[in-house]
Structure 1
Amino acid sequence: MKNPSLKRNAIANYFGQAYVMLIGIIVTPLYLQHLGVEAYGLVGFFALLQTWMNLLDIGLTPTLGRQIAHARGKTKGFDEFRKLLKSFEIIFFGLALIAISGVYFASTWLANDWINAELLSTDVIAYCIKLMGVMIGLRWFSGLYRSGINGLEDQVWLNIANILLMTLKFVGALILLIFISNDIQHFFEYQLVIGSIELVVVMMRFYTKLPISKVPIHVISFHWDSVKSVAPFALGVAYTAGIWIFVSQVDKLILSGVLTLAEFGYFSLVVIIASAINAITGPISNAIQPRMTYLLSGGSEVDMLVLYRNATQLVTWVSMSVSIMVAFFAEPLIYAWTGNKEAASWSKEILFWFALGNGILAIIAFQYYLQIAHGKLKLHILGATLSAIVEVPIIVYAALNYGALGAGITWFILRVVWGLVWTPIVHHYFAPGLHWKWLFNDILIIVLAVTLIALLMQYLYPETNNFSRPVIFLVLMIMGTIVMAVSSLSSSFIRGNVKNKIKRKRTKAMS
């Protein structure tokens, strides 16, 4: 099977991610305006609930993506893969029923005893939560097939489909709110319809692109031997993913019960912006993970490590440029985005710490990609266990006693400590002799350059109290572009690519 272009996939991932982010930036403040802060808080609660319900995934989605990438590097690899796929579909169907039933029966309790609403009735909230449960089941199946498409490196199509589907989700819902109804119940009903369409589209594409197996397999069948062979890997992923949900989402879960629904709406804005930092770098990791696995399965470890280091530099440059600029200019950014001064004032300090913490998270995630590529998660399981034992009690204490700001500061400190302590241990086992070159040459030099340039931009930032929101946003975009452009020179990978392009242009001109 011919390998798709890694460059094309990365570019497609970035274009698709940029579109989703852009449409989210445009539509979110309009949602806030037409739904109201409290109803928007319910949208934020849906995102939180969906994250926690991913605990039931038990590692199947990432396992399927890895196994299809592995099958591409093996002769007759898809004969066994199809057995695994059919087995996973049966398991997912059962898990979806559990999720939908669980959310349905918990909806009344959540509406009455957990969510602190002042304007929305408990009946409305309970109904919306029931719709959330059905959507979670549909999105699980969509995620399974999306993972398969990603493993096939059919990422150009996936991004085109994602753009169309996100347009229906965001723009279609906005049209609904403006011209038909701004009832939060109708909003979730519409999202349920689009979620159903999404599942059908990605499932059809996945089966269309899946190579034909010479071994006949029934449409509905379960193959225990196939599941058993990947069970240690899947359960390892599930265990560590579950722990990660506890570590990364326990503060948000607590805050959803401590804050009023309106305040949680403001906090949801912080979560969206902070999460966007990881979403920006996601296209790189989505492109390199299946390729790293493929290279290792073919015995090209040296090429895999070159890809690993180059991708680290790119992610460090992008994630730290964005996270530091967001942290330094949190208040004007939120005001320029939403037009809500109360939201900007409430969120500025909280966003500062969450933004920096997520910027660091995007970098230290690379040690996990390395372990996924090797298909060995024993060390990751140990690290995740230690992380949960140490971090969860600290995060719970900070959220309960110091609120959202305490949770943000704690998140930042823990990410720094974990990156400095655990990553060298992983590198010692999977890439001996790499760590210090990776840390200093691929990360710290870039971080230092970004920080110094961003500090200069902060010093030069003009007084914008009398500026319109579009002008404030434009000023921030210009300053962010300067930070990224200048700091890019600190990356040896980027410098090398620029030099090669200049050299090729000169050679072409001379010929």
Structure 2
Amino acid sequence: MLSVSRNVFASIFARIWSGVMQFAFTPVYVALLKPEAYGLVGIYSTLLVSTLFLDQCVSPVLARELGRLGSREGTASEMRNLLRSLEVLSLATGSLVGVMVYLAAPYIGGHWINAGGLPRDEVTSALRLMGLVIACQWPNNLYCAGFIGLHRQDQATNLRILFTTLQWAGAAVLLWGVAPSITLLLSWQAANFALFSAMLARRLWRLMPKASASPRFDGRKLRSVGRFALGTLVIGMLASLLTQADKLLVSKYIPLDQFAAYSLAFTLASPITLLVAQPVGSALMPHFSRLISGGDRSGLAREYHRWAQTISVLALPMAGALATFGKPLTMLWLGRGSPLVDPLAILLPWVAAGTLVNTVLMTPYVLQIAAGWTRLAIFKNVVALTLFLPTLVIGVPRFGPLMGVWGWLAVNLGCYLIEAPLMHRRLLTGELGAWWGRDTLLPMVVTALLFGGSGLLAAPDQSVWSGLAQATSTAGLVLAVLVALLPYPRAQAGALLRRLAAAR
């Protein structure tokens, strides 16, 4: 069985490759499709994430239950039946969501999206194809959760790299060589995701422990995990509203070309989530579940702080670079003459700050889910929504996209100041001070001071390459200071240096 660290790094490697593909080919898509048509790609992402809460009663259950059952003898049949049962539910749910998006396409295209100069028929056709893409992509989440529960993310890494390359590079070749068409792009994505889902399913079933009987749908097993599944479903639904309400409202009140800038600001900040929060969180959930099940509180506290510090070290240099040197980085990415550079530069610091706070909240959230305690997250999301939605409805038409990103930051700061203390009081009594002070707040202050000073030294007419060099060097300095400052990263760095010295 792979260690937690190796699981994290296997997942990070695949996500790094995904990030490389996304950042390499997004400017190609924007240039070939033009900003208005590319805004529909942002609409697809919003639709997908807005509906993914329905997967929260399936994939987290599979990861958690496989992690728990895998440490016991004689559970092979139970594990296989669980996978088959959740597989049926996932395929049915994905198909239903795809059909709903297809049927709603004329209304969304005609009455919600501000299409600007795009013909309504073209927008409606693209939206219908989005339903097909969502249905083909949907099972990926379940199968990836299965690899997580078995602690074999390494077995999914090569498939993810292959199909991510096909997804991004193949689409770019088609757009350039055949036609710069959003429908062609979405058709390619649907075919790619369908094949990826089939390959993931085949490999996961081969990894499952062998049993004498064939796997079957087990309604009794589903009922036994129903309470946890219902809790994660409600959390996912409320979290989806919190994270996507701004995008849904912004897409209604601004044209698609401006929505493209709003969507791309979150894309630029996404490496903080994709490379840090998601791989660490997915590996920690079954790990925390085993520690809680074994009653090892001291081990749980140690692992909790260890990974909280790791998240800070990995996330803060990226967030600081985006917040301080967003404009030269955007010009390097999209090109100096892109009309999206200036609106992106305004939005990016706020998006990066909100994404950073959301990322450092990953360890408290994962601990809640691993413990099966869903009520706090539900209550927090309900309270946040009652404040967030009216603010967006009033503020977005008046202040535009900035109100959306301000709201994103405010929601995450509220969780940091209110939800985290409540979680620690129940699950890790006496550990809040260390998490707040040493693991998160101190690294944030140090990062803000170093990047703030570097930003003050930057020339007003700084070139793209000068900005890139300053952002990179400052991020490297922040990384080195945080590694030296925090106990666990410092110990890991020392061990690595000793191994390198011994190897000589």
Q: Same fold (TM over 0.5)?
A: yes
3-state SS, counterpart of residue 293 of structure 1: helix
Deviation at 1:507, TM superposition (A): 7.1
Pairing partner for 2:363 from 362, 366, 376: 366
> Residues 430-486 of structure 1: CA distance to partner in whole angstroms, max 9, x if unpaired?
011111122112112211211111112212324555x3x456434432332233223
**What is the rounded CA distance, in whole Å, between the counterparts of 2:56 and 2:310 in structure 1?**
31
3-state SS, counterpart of residue 169 of structure 1: helix
Deviation at 1:503, TM superposition (A): 4.9
> Residues 182-209 of structure 1: CA distance to partner in whole angstroms, max 9, x if unpaired?
1111111111110111111110111011
Match of 2:406 in 1: 409
Deviation at 1:45, TM superposition (A): 0.6
**What is the rounded CA distance, in whole Å, between the counterparts of 1:120 and 1:322 in structure 2?**
35
**What is the rounded CA distance, in whole Å, between the counterparts of 1:217 and 1:191 in structure 2?**
33
Deviation at 1:69, TM superposition (A): 0.9
Pairing partner for 1:426 from 423, 426, 448: 423
Deviation at 1:391, TM superposition (A): 2.9
Match of 2:279 in 1: 283
Q: Are the counterparts in 2 of residues 68 and 78 from structure 1 also a CA contact under 8 Å?
A: no
Pairing partner for 2:221 from 213, 221, 226: 226
> Residues 143-163 of structure 1: CA distance to partner in whole angstroms, max 9, x if unpaired?
111110121111122222111
Residues 504 and 107 of structure 1: CA distance in aligned 2, closer, same or farther (over 3 Å):
closer
Letter in 1 for 2:330: I
> Residues 315-343 of structure 1: CA distance to partner in whole angstroms, max 9, x if unpaired?
11222221122111122221111014531
Letter in 2 for 1:252: K
Aligned length: 502
User: Is 1:399 aligned to residue 396 of structure 2?
Assistant: yes
Match of 1:246 in 2: 241
Identity %, equivalent residues:
25
Q: TM-score, normalised by structure 1?
A: 0.93
Q: Are the counterparts in 2 of residues 149 and 158 from structure 1 also a CA contact under 8 Å?
A: yes
Q: Are the counterparts in 1 of residues 325 and 467 from structure 2 also a CA contact under 8 Å?
A: no
Letter in 2 for 1:130: R
Q: Are the counterparts in 1 of residues 309 and 488 from structure 2 also a CA contact under 8 Å?
A: yes
**What is the rounded CA distance, in whole Å, between the counterparts of 1:6 and 1:186 in structure 2?**
40
Q: Are the counterparts in 1 of residues 281 and 362 from structure 2 also a CA contact under 8 Å?
A: no
Match of 1:24 in 2: 22
**What is the rounded CA distance, in whole Å, between the counterparts of 2:74 and 2:374 in structure 1?**
26
> Residues 185-243 of structure 1: CA distance to partner in whole angstroms, max 9, x if unpaired?
111111111011111111011101111124x245xx43221111001001100101100
Deviation at 1:506, TM superposition (A): 6.4
3-state SS, counterpart of residue 36 of structure 1: helix
Match of 1:331 in 2: 327
Deviation at 1:12, TM superposition (A): 1.9
**What is the rounded CA distance, in whole Å, between the counterparts of 2:56 and 2:154 in structure 1?**
28
Q: TM-score, normalised by structure 2?
A: 0.94
User: Is 1:264 aligned to residue 259 of structure 2?
Assistant: yes
**What is the rounded CA distance, in whole Å, between the counterparts of 2:171 and 2:482 in structure 1?**
39
Match of 1:181 in 2: 179
Letter in 1 for 2:108: L
Match of 1:76 in 2: 74
**What is the rounded CA distance, in whole Å, between the counterparts of 1:328 and 1:398 in structure 2?**
26
Q: Are the counterparts in 2 of residues 71 and 81 from structure 1 also a CA contact under 8 Å?
A: yes
**What is the rounded CA distance, in whole Å, between the counterparts of 1:96 and 1:287 in structure 2?**
25
Letter in 2 for 1:128: A
Letter in 2 for 1:254: L
What runs of 5+ residues in structure 1 fail to find an aligned partner? none
Letter in 1 for 2:356: G
Q: Are the counterparts in 1 of residues 388 and 407 from structure 2 also a CA contact under 8 Å?
A: no
**What is the rounded CA distance, in whole Å, between the counterparts of 1:505 and 1:105 in structure 2?**
60
3-state SS, counterpart of residue 342 of structure 1: coil
**What is the rounded CA distance, in whole Å, between the counterparts of 1:10 and 1:464 in structure 2?**
40
**What is the rounded CA distance, in whole Å, between the counterparts of 2:172 and 2:258 in structure 1?**
22
Match of 1:99 in 2: 97
**What is the rounded CA distance, in whole Å, between the counterparts of 1:59 and 1:330 in structure 2?**
37
Write the mapping of 1:135-154 to structure 2, written as runs, cut at 5 A: 135-154=133-152
Pairing partner for 1:319 from 306, 315, 322: 315
Instruction: Give the stretch that moved more between structures: 107-116 or 165-174.
Output: 107-116
> Residues 240-295 of structure 1: CA distance to partner in whole angstroms, max 9, x if unpaired?
11000111110100011111011111111112112222112122222222222233
**What is the rounded CA distance, in whole Å, between the counterparts of 1:301 and 1:138 in structure 2?**
41
**What is the rounded CA distance, in whole Å, between the counterparts of 1:290 and 1:274 in structure 2?**
27
Residues 61 and 507 of structure 1: CA distance in aligned 2, closer, same or farther (over 3 Å):
closer
Letter in 1 for 2:93: L
Deviation at 1:504, TM superposition (A): 5.5
Deviation at 1:63, TM superposition (A): 1.0
Instruction: Give the stretch that moved more between structures: 318-327 or 195-204.
Output: 318-327
Write the mapping of 1:427-446 to structure 2, written as runs, cut at 5 A: 427-446=424-443
Match of 2:293 in 1: 297
Q: Are the counterparts in 2 of residues 73 and 298 from structure 1 also a CA contact under 8 Å?
A: no
Match of 2:165 in 1: 167
Deviation at 1:382, TM superposition (A): 2.5
Letter in 1 for 2:196: E
Q: Are the counterparts in 1 of residues 309 and 439 from structure 2 also a CA contact under 8 Å?
A: yes
Q: Are the counterparts in 2 of residues 240 and 385 from structure 1 also a CA contact under 8 Å?
A: no
Match of 2:51 in 1: 53
Deviation at 1:71, TM superposition (A): 1.1
> Residues 14-53 of structure 1: CA distance to partner in whole angstroms, max 9, x if unpaired?
2222111122111111111011111110111100011112
Match of 1:488 in 2: 483
Instruction: Give the stretch that moved more between structures: 39-48 or 388-397.
Output: 388-397
What runs of 5+ residues in structure 2 fail to find an aligned partner? none
Q: Are the counterparts in 2 of residues 317 and 484 from structure 1 also a CA contact under 8 Å?
A: yes
**What is the rounded CA distance, in whole Å, between the counterparts of 1:438 and 1:346 in structure 2?**
35
Residues 18 and 92 of structure 1: CA distance in aligned 2, closer, same or farther (over 3 Å):
closer
**What is the rounded CA distance, in whole Å, between the counterparts of 1:506 and 1:113 in structure 2?**
65
Pairing partner for 1:6 from 1, 4, 7: 4
**What is the rounded CA distance, in whole Å, between the counterparts of 1:293 and 1:197 in structure 2?**
32
Deviation at 1:120, TM superposition (A): 2.5
> Residues 374-414 of structure 1: CA distance to partner in whole angstroms, max 9, x if unpaired?
12223332333223233333343332332111121222123
User: Is 1:123 aligned to residue 121 of structure 2?
Assistant: yes
**What is the rounded CA distance, in whole Å, between the counterparts of 1:498 and 1:51 in structure 2?**
37
User: Is 1:309 aligned to residue 305 of structure 2?
Assistant: yes
Residues 396 and 345 of structure 1: CA distance in aligned 2, closer, same or farther (over 3 Å):
same
Q: Are the counterparts in 1 of residues 354 and 410 from structure 2 also a CA contact under 8 Å?
A: yes
Residues 502 and 266 of structure 1: CA distance in aligned 2, closer, same or farther (over 3 Å):
closer
Residues 24 and 190 of structure 1: CA distance in aligned 2, closer, same or farther (over 3 Å):
same
Instruction: Give the stretch that moved more between structures: 197-206 or 77-86.
Output: 77-86
